[in-house]
Amino acid sequence: MAKKKYNVAVVGATGMVGQVMVSILKERNFPVGILRPLASERSAGKKISFGKDSISIDTLSASSFKDIDIALFSAGASISEKFAPIAVKAGAVVIDNSSAFRMDPGVPLVVPEVNPEKAREHKGIIANPNCSTIQLVVVLNPIHKAAGIGRFVISTYQSVSGWGKEAVAELDGQTRSILNKKKPKVNKDILPRQIAFNLIPQIDVFCEDGYTKEEKKVVNETRKILGDDTIKISSTCVRVPVYMAHSESVNIQLKRPLDIKRLKEILSKAKGVKVMDEPSTSTYPTPIDAAGKDDVFVGRIRRDDSAENGFNLWIVADNLRKGAALNAIQIAESLFL
């Protein structure tokens, strides 16, 4: 019997996440019948590679989802808001990488290592969490199950690829200018400040209380995915001059005692987690170690004596893969394979 195949649409196929979605579908041998890459009119006529095939990009429209089984969206919240319901009506299951539906109580927010069962409760749309949240909960979930996380404080070190191709080009162009002793050009419509050899303690726009939307996402999405609204969270999100992979310095306070050896053992056995932690050989994850990899890496695991049951962790993952495209395709796998 022939294995069932699925017709897959990728909305935002020319974006950084969309491109990785297409390559991961091939890499993981997802049983794709028709692949339909969709983008705005600007990309009409362009082609993308899918294994040995070259496939023309279609312009996204209300009729794009005919015969589509799975629609992977990664073209921003406003596109998802408009077209995801259309795709659902056409019979597709939507896995949406934008923030449009994440906090909708009727939409599951899924990280397959953490809450795969939620995916099955969908009513057409499943939301893919924010990149910085995904890598965090993959590591925190097994700890939360073992000893209960009461509170955590997170400071992030996020790469430019998390803000798209234009931000990557900003880092690249500004860096070249500075090395050539020229004044770097800063396009504030892309990133609010110079990123080359600099840091930007602002990701996304500010809310009234002085936190950025990115910082709020970490709080709200973590609680929803771990299914525990009592976890206390403080977050600070910072853009760093790194191309690929997000890093996070996370200080956790557990509700119940946990031996550090046991903590390391729990993380070593956790699905999707790779422990890289051997100070004597300077072994710990850095962005270039995680780039292109599927695992979430954790190192610098230390007891924190400044709090009861306190620990520090350093968490690094490829923001385009596990932080976006891979997680979306893992959701599709959990539902259809």
Q: Are strands 246-254 and 310-317 parallel, antiparallel or unpaired?
A: antiparallel
Q: Which of 70, 111, 125, 242 binds a second copy (CB under 8 A)?
A: 242
Sole window of 92-100, 102-110, 117-125, 239-247 interacting with a second copy (rule: CB under 8 A): 239-247
CA distance 34 to 37: 10
Distance of alpha carbon 110 from alpha carbon 225, whole angstroms: 7
Q: Least CB distance from residue 137 to a second copy, whole Å? A: 17
Q: Name the burial class of residue 234, with classes exposed (0-12), middle (13-18) and buried (19+) by CB atoms within 10 angstroms of its CB.
A: middle
Q: Taking the complex as a whole, how short is the minimal distance between the CB of residue 331 and a second copy, in angstroms?
A: 29
Q: Report which residue type is found at 50.
A: F
Contact 96, 73 (CB under 8 A): yes
Identify whether 122 is a catalytic site residue: no
The rounded distance, in Å, linking the Cα atoms of 12 and 98 is 11
Token readout for 163 is 């803000």
CB 301 within 8 A of CB 294: no
Q: Is 294 or 304 the residue whose CB approaches a second copy more closely?
A: 304
Q: Does 153 bind a second copy (CB under 8 A)?
A: yes
**What kind and span of H or E run contains 145?**
helix 131-147
CB of 185 to a second copy, least distance (A): 14
Q: Which residue in 122, 131, 144, 237 is the catalytic one?
A: 131
3-state secondary structure labels for all residues of 238-255: CECCCCCCEEEEEEEEEC
CA angle at 236 for the pair 129 and 216, rounded to the nearest 5°: 45
Q: Where does this chain touch a second copy (CB under 8 A) — which range of 5-13, 63-71, 85-93, 205-213?
A: 205-213
Residue closer to a second copy (CB basis): 128 or 247: 247
In the chain, the amino acid numbered 79 is: I
String of contacts with a second copy for each residue 81-120, x by CB under 8 A: ----------------------------------------
Q: Which residues contact residue 67 at a Cβ distance below 8 angstroms, ignoring those fewer than 6 apart?
A: 7, 34, 91
Q: Establish whether 131 is a catalytic residue.
A: yes
Closer CB to a second copy, 312 or 334, in the complex: 312
Choose between 26 and 303: whose C-beta lies nearer to a second copy: 303
Q: Nearest approach, Cβ of 188 to a second copy (angstroms)?
A: 8
Question: Which one of 97, 141, 194, 222 is in contact with a second copy (CB under 8 A)?
Answer: 194
C-beta closer to a second copy: residue 14 or 247: 247
Applying CB under 8 A, does 75 fall inside the site for a second copy? no
Backbone angles phi, psi at 315, to 5 degrees: -115, 130
| Residue 251 touching a second copy (CB under 8 A) | yes
Q: Which one of 122, 144, 237, 246 is the catalytic residue? A: 246
> Shortest distance, CB of residue 161 to a second copy, whole angstroms?
11
From the number of C-beta atoms within 10 Å of its C-beta (0-12, 13-18, 19+), residue 330 rates as buried
Q: According to CB under 8 A, which residues from 173 to 192 bind a second copy?
A: 175-176, 179, 188, 192
**By C-beta, is 118 or 216 nearer to a second copy?**
216
Q: Which residue from 302, 309, 333, 336 is in contact with a second copy, where contact means CB under 8 A?
A: 302
- Of 312, 333, 334, 336, which one interacts with a second copy (CB under 8 A)? 312
Catalytic annotation, residues: 131, 246
